[in-house]
Amino acid sequence: METFRKEIDTKITPAVQKALGLKNRLAVPRVTKITVNIGLNASSKDPKFKDSALNALTRITGQKPIETKARQSVSGFKVREGMVVGLKVTLRGARMYDFLYKLIHVTLPRIRDFQGLSKDLVDATGNLSIGFKEHLAFPEIHSDEIETMHGLQVTITTTAKTHDHGVTLFTHFGFPFINK
């Protein structure tokens, strides 16, 4: 998706600069990384679930995930210190822009009953977090091959300083926000 990267440099960045009234091009907010997480149910003793989630996350991102472990024990959730409680991938560079393009133009339109994203998903520092209930929306996952369903979370981290700057950046990228 080298063309998407060029589109960001030639069209999107100047448009965001003009919309925000910034004089310096380097002050324009930009995406720094994308983090994709899958939380594993700690009480689930099924080893197939972890392998299935690891395989799905590898196929979705094109990168091997790392295991996140519990820092402390929580008896109410049956979690012990050191247990694997999730999988995570951090995307930067070319893979990040490929994933961003695929998220905007392929994955979000494939979500069942999708009405658009709420502007509340952008936090006070301009980062966007999207939760998916099913990982089937991604084109790399084929419905006939999956054994278990699980959700995942995508967090897009930016250099934006405020909520409004983040919303402006994501709107120019083409994220479909709901007008409230």
- Which tens digits make up the pLDDT trace of 68-86? 888 888 888 788 888 888 8
Query: The sheet that has 66-69: what strands, in order across it?
Result: 66-69, 84-91, 31-39, 152-158, 128-132
Model confidence band, residue 162 (pLDDT cutoffs 50, 70, 90): very high
Does residue 144 have a pLDDT over 60? Answer: yes
Does residue 170 have a pLDDT over 90? Answer: yes
Does residue 27 have a pLDDT over 70? Answer: yes
Distance CA 152, CA 98 (A): 18
Question: pTM of this prediction?
Answer: 0.88
More confident of the two residues 138 and 32: 32
- Which tens digits make up the pLDDT trace of 69-128? 888 888 887 888 888 888 999 999 999 999 999 999 888 888 888 888 899 999 999 999
Does residue 44 have a pLDDT over 70? Answer: no
Domain ranges of the chain: 2-173
Q: Is 162 exposed, middle or buried (0-12, 13-18, 19+ CB in 10 A)?
A: middle
Nearest Cα neighbor of 127 from 100, 161, 94, 95 is 161
Nearest Cα neighbor of 33 from 88, 91, 87, 89 is 91
Supply the CATH classification number for the domain 2-173.
3.30.1440.10
